[in-house]
Amino acid sequence: MPRDEAKSSKSPTTSAKSNRRQFLDTTTATVAGAALAGVAATKAGAQEKADVPKVFAGGSDAIRLALIGCGGRGGGAAVDALSVQGAPLKLVAMADVFKERADIVRRSIGEQFEGKFDVPDERVFVGFDAYKEAIDYLKPGDIAIFATPVAFRAPHFAYAIEKGVHTFMEKPVSIDGPSTKRIIELAKKADEKNLKVGVGLMCRHCDRRQELYDRLQNGEAGELMDFRGYRMHTPAQSPELFPGPPEGVSEILWQIRRFHGFLWASGGIYSDYYVHHIDEVCWMKGAWPVTAEATGGRHVKGKMDDQNFDSYAVEYTFPDGTKFFYSGRHIKNCDQKFGVFGRGTKGAFTISASGHSPARCAIYKGQAEDKDKLLWTAEQPEPNPYRREWEHLVDAIINDKPYNEAVRGAEASLATAMGRIAAHTGKLVTYDGLLNGDYDLTAGVADFKADSPAPVRLLADYTYPVPTPGKFKYEYND
Ligand SMILES: NC(=O)c1ccc[n+]([C@@H]2O[C@H](COP(=O)([O-])OP(=O)(O)OC[C@H]3O[C@@H](n4cnc5c(N)ncnc54)[C@H](O)[C@@H]3O)[C@@H](O)[C@H]2O)c1
C-alpha cells in the first residue's frame, strides 16, 4: 500500500541509523578511511553478486557532483553537499537554461570551496539538453543534483539512472498522477541498479522531528486526533510585474523563470511551497490522505497575472477518518503564520513552529499550547536538516546502504497535489483517483527547446488562464 510509505521512520533514512551515527561521529580522518573501506566493500560485494553494479566512482578518490538547475536552492544544495565532513565530494559540472544563473552560483561556490570545486568554462552547460552534457561528464557512482522546477524531474532522473549516477532531487518531485507514476516507476529502475536517491524533503532528516515522531509513537500525546498547518506570508513575487515575457525572452523561458506562477512548471505555489508541511504531517500520522476537499480564491493580484490562488483552505482526510486542515494565504499586510501542529487525546503538539528549521517541536499537557504547560520541547540548537539529508545520502553511497526516497517523495508530492487540485476545481479529489487519472501537466517536457511553444498561452487580454472552480474538468481547461 503506497499510503503506508508515510511511516518514514521505517524508511531507508532511519533504518540504518546506528551505522550512520558511527559514520558521522567519527573524526574526519577516520571517516575518510571508512569511506575508502566502503568502496572496497562495495567492490567486493559487486564481485560476489554480479547483478549488483558498482555504485561508487571506483579508481577515483572523489565522488563528483553535477548541479542541474543553478538557482537559489541548487546553489544551497551544492553548498550542503560540499559541506559534508570527511567525504570526498567535488563539484565538476553545472547546467542551466540561463547561463547567468550558473555563473552566479559558480562564482560563489568557487570562492567558498577551493579544492572541492573544478568547473571550468567548458563544463558550464546551457540549454534544455544541458543536463545530459553535465551528467555525461560524471562516472557511474557520482551524484547528479536536480534543482530545476519540478516539471523536468522525471526526464532528468531517467537520464541519471541510465548513466548509473546517484541522484539528489529537490522537492516536489511530481505534480499530478502521471508525473507521480513516472517517478515511482523510475525509482524501481534506480533500485535495480543499486543507485541511491535523496529527495529534498529535508524535514524528514530533522533529528528533533524524529524525536517527536518517536514520542508520538510512544503515546505521549495520546491518540492523534487532528492536524492543522499554515503557510501565510506576503507573495513571493511582486504583484506589480506585468505578465508576459520581456523583450528578447521566449514565452517558455519566461514561464520557467517565473515557474511558481505556472502550474505545468511547478504545480504552483501550492505544490512548490506546501509539500514540506503536508509531508511532515503525513509522517507524524503514518499515512497518506485518501481525500482532499478545498476552497480558495484570487483576491489581490495587482498587475501580475499567474495561475495561483492567493488563499487556500484544505481539508485532508486520512484512512481512519482523522483530519488535517491546511491554510495558505499570500496577500500583503495580513498576519503571517508558518507551521504545522496537531492534537492528541492527551495533549497538543507542535511539529514545526515558525519555519522549516529550527522546528522547535513540543508536546503539551492538555490542549492549550501554553509555555507553562509543556510536557517536552526539542533541545536547542538543532542540527541543520539541509546538512543532515546530505550526510545521510553520502553515508548510504559510501557504505552501500539501501537508500531511495523517490517513492516517498512522489507520494508526498501527490498528496500535496490533491489539495491544490481540489481547491482549483472545487471537487473532492481522492488519492487513488488522482494517481490513476490522466491529468498530465508535464507531458512532452523532455522535448522542450528554447523556442518551443509554451504549455500555457498568454490570452488576448494579457492574462493567463486561471483555475476556476466548477468550470473546468481539470484546473484551468477541459
Ligand atoms: N528544500 C527546500 O527547502 C527548497 C527551497 C527552495 C527551493 N526548493 C526547490 O528547488 C527547486 C528550484 O527552486 P529555486 O528556488 O532554486 O528556483 P530558482 O529559479 O532560483 O532556480 C531554478 C534554476 O533552474 C534553472 N532551470 C529551469 N529549468 C531548467 C532546465 N530544464 N534545465 C536546467 N536548468 C533549468 C533555472 O534557470 C534556475 O536557475 C524547486 O523545485 C523548489 O521547490 C526547495
Assess whether the C-beta atom of 105 lies below 6 angstroms from ligand 1: no
pLDDT tens for 191-236 read 999 999 999 999 999 999 999 999 999 999 999 999 999 999 998 7
Q: CB atoms < 10 A from the CB of 447, how many?
A: 9
Give one DSSP letter per residue of 12-36, joined into a string: HHHHTHHHHHHHHHS-HHHHHHHHH
Write the residue with the smallest CA distance to atom 13 of ligand 1: 73
Average pLDDT over residues 99-113: 95
Q: Could you state, in order of their start, the residue ranges of all structural domains in the chain? A: 2-204+385-404, 206-383+415-447
Ligand 1 within 6 A of 150 CB?
yes
Q: Whose CA is nearest to atom 4 of ligand 1?
A: 73
Q: How many helices (H) and strands (E) does the chain have?
A: 15, 15
CATH topology of domain 2-204+385-404: Rossmann fold (3.40.50)
Could you tell me the pLDDT band of residue 22, with boundaries at 50, 70 and 90?
Answer: very low
Nearest alpha carbon to residue 201 among 279, 269, 265: 279
Average pLDDT in the chain: 88
Nearest to 54 by CA among 139, 150, 115: 139
**Ligand 1 pocket residue status of 98, Cβ below 6 Å:** yes
Ligand 1, atom 43: nearest CA belongs to which residue?
Answer: 272
φ/ψ of 211, rounded to 5, equals: -65, -40
For residue range 28-49, what is the model confidence (pLDDT) as tens digits? 322 232 232 222 222 222 223 3
pLDDT band (50, 70, 90) for residue 24 = very low
Cα of 78 from ligand 1 centre, angstroms: 12
Distance 72 CA to ligand 1 centre (A): 7
Q: Which of 79, 94, 97 to mutate to test the pocket of ligand 1 (most atoms within 8 A of CB)?
A: 97
Ligand 1: residue whose CA is nearest its atom 28: 148
Q: What tens digit of pLDDT does each residue of 295-319 get?
A: 999 987 766 678 999 999 999 999 9
Measured in Å, residue 131 CA sits from the centre of ligand 1 at 13
**Dist. CA 147 → ligand 1 center (Å):** 4
Distance from the CA of 136 to the center of ligand 1, in angstroms? 21
Closest by CA position to 343, among listed 371, 363, 373, 313: 363
Closest-CA residue, ligand 1 atom 40, reads: 149
**Which pLDDT value is given to residue 27?**
26
For β-strands 323-329 and 224-232, DSSP reports them as parallel
Q: How far is the CA of 160 from the centre of ligand 1 (A)?
A: 18
Residue 467's pLDDT band (boundaries 50, 70, 90)?
A: very high
User: 128 in ligand 1 pocket by Cβ < 6 Å?
Assistant: yes
pLDDT of residue 247: 82
* Model pLDDT for residues 151-163, shown as the tens digit of each residue: 999 999 999 999 9
Percent of the chain with pLDDT over 90: 79
Backbone angles phi, psi at 33, to 5 degrees: -65, -45
The C-alpha cell that represents 211 in the structure block: 524525536
Give the residue ranges of DSSP H helices in 312-449.
Answer: 385-398, 406-425, 431-435
Fold exhibited by the domain 206-383+415-447: Dihydrodipicolinate Reductase; domain 2 (3.30.360)
The per-residue pLDDT for range 336-375, each reduced to its tens digit, is 999 999 999 999 999 999 999 999 999 999 999 999 999 9
- Sign of the four-CA dihedral 179, 266, 67, 404: negative
For residue range 161-194, list pLDDT tens digits in order: 999 999 999 999 999 999 999 999 999 999 999 9
pLDDT tens by residue, 436-453: 999 999 999 999 999 999
Q: How far does the centroid of ligand 1 lie from the alpha carbon of residue 172, in Å?
A: 10
Q: Using CA of residue 109, residue 381, residue 279, residue 239, what is the dihedral sign?
A: negative
Tell me which of 80, 96, 420 to substitute to probe ligand 1's pocket, judged by most ligand atoms within 8 Å of the beta carbon. Answer: 96
**What's the predicted TM-score (pTM) here?**
0.90
Looking at residue 46, its pLDDT comes to 28
Contact of 236 with 308, CB cutoff 8 Å: no
How many CB atoms are located within 10 Å of the residue 51 CB?
A: 8
Pocket mutation for ligand 1, best pick of 67, 68, 70, 73 (most atoms within 8 Å of C-beta): 73
Strands 323-329 and 311-317: antiparallel
434 CB within 6 A, ligand 1: no
The Å distance, Cα 337 to ligand 1 centre, comes to 24
CB of 177 closer than 8 Å to CB of 435: yes
Rounded CA gap, 281 and 340, in Å? 7
Distance of CA 74 from the midpoint of ligand 1 (Å): 6
CA of 360 to the centre of ligand 1 (A): 27
Q: Convert the pLDDT of each residue in 384-437 to its tens digit.
A: 999 999 999 999 999 999 999 999 999 999 999 999 999 999 999 999 999 999
Q: How far is CA 22 from CA 18, 162, 168, 399, in A?
A: 6, 32, 23, 11
* Residue having the nearest C-alpha atom to atom 25 of ligand 1: 69
CA distances from 128 to 69, 267, 297, 343 (A): 11, 20, 34, 46
Query: pLDDT at position 292, please?
Result: 99
* 390-402 per-position pLDDT tens digit: 999 999 999 999 9
123 close to ligand 1 (CB < 6 Angstrom)? no
- CB-ligand 1 contact for 74 (6 Å cutoff): yes
State whether the beta carbon of 130 lies less than 6 angstroms from ligand 1: yes
List the one residue out of 66, 149, 87 whose CA is nearest residue 393: 87
